[in-house]
Every structure is written in C-alpha cells, then in structure tokens.
Amino acid sequence: MSDFTSDVRDALIDGRLPCAHAFRIAQANRVGVSQVREAADGLEVRISRCQLGLFGYEDLGERRPVRKLPEVPESLAAQIQEGLVDGRLPCAAAWKLADDEGLPRLLLGCACETLDVRIAPCQLGCF
C-alpha cells in the first residue's frame, strides 16, 4: 500500500473517494492521480462525484447530474469538437477547456452531453 493510504481513507464520503479529493491527495503527496486511484482500488474504494458530472452521485440521489442544455454556444461547440481524440474528448482536455473559458466543469460536461460527445479517457482511469 502507498504511504498516502490514510489520506485516501480520511477523504472518503459515504465510503467513496470523490474525484476532487483524489486530485487534492495527489497534489499534496506529489504523485499522479492514477496512483491515488490505485490506492483506492487497493482499499476496494470506488471513486465518486466526477467533476464533469458523469458518475458517482448516488449519495445525492442520482447517478449522474449531467443534463442536456437548451443549446451550446457555437464557439464552445467548436472548441469541444477541436479537442476530440478518436471521437471523444479526453477528461484532461475537458477540464482545460472549462478552466480556460471560466466555466464550471459540470457545465462543460452538460455541454458535451448536449452535443452527444463522450468524455474519455478519465484522468483517474475510471473509464
């Protein structure tokens, strides 16, 4: 087990590790986020509360809070399309686009849902 396993245990909410907590643990311990996910796997802990809204919100009453929007501005839709790799938008690219545009990550996830764009691969390796 990693030397940050206790950090993972301390960050659990309802027995799961929220995505944002995994990233904080990685930063605090100067390790890759995939190492944090591996530590969680070793503890048989699932990742929850994807910051793009794609999975892990069962404790709040829904599996995924991402919803289709009435419309996506053309400029944002074009940027999403430009970021596609093999027909999908990598999670890291989605985060960067959201941050660059000053958008909440969940809203970027909703824009992708509206455009029928799948996000993958996950930075944590969940999908």
pLDDT at position 71, please?
97
Distance of CA 70 to the CA centre of its chain: 23
pLDDT for 13-22, tens place per residue?
999 999 999 9
As a whole number, the mean pLDDT across the chain is 96
Residue 127 covered by a domain = no
Local structure of 118: helix, strand or coil: strand
Q: What is the pLDDT of residues 83-126, one digit of tens each?
A: 999 999 999 999 999 999 999 999 999 999 999 999 999 999 99
Query: Where do the H-state alpha helices sit in the chain?
Result: 5-10, 19-29, 33-42, 74-82, 91-101, 105-114
For residue 44, CA distances in Å to 47, 72, 95, 106, 108 come to 10, 38, 27, 26, 30
Q: Number of structural domains, the chain?
A: 2
Residue 64 lies in a domain: no
Structural domain contains residue 58: no
The answer to whether 51 and 19 have CB atoms below 8 angstroms apart is yes
In whole angstroms, how far apart are CA 62 and each of 98, 105, 108?
Answer: 23, 18, 19
Q: Print the domain residue range for 37.
A: 5-49
Does a structural domain hold residue 126? Answer: no
Q: Is residue 69 part of a domain?
A: no
Residue 30 lies in a domain: yes
Cβ(51)–Cβ(96) below 8 Å: no
Residue 61 counted as domain residue: no
Given a cut of 70, whether residue 1 has pLDDT beyond it is no
Could you tell me which residues come within 8 angstroms of residue 33 by beta carbon, excluding any fewer than 6 positions away?
A: 22, 23, 26, 123, 124
Q: Given this model, what pLDDT does residue 11 score?
A: 97
What's the pLDDT score for residue 60?
86
Q: Are residues 9 and 42 in the same domain?
A: yes
pLDDT tens readout for residues 21-69: 999 999 999 999 999 999 999 999 999 999 999 999 998 888 999 999 9
Q: Is residue 125 part of a domain?
A: no
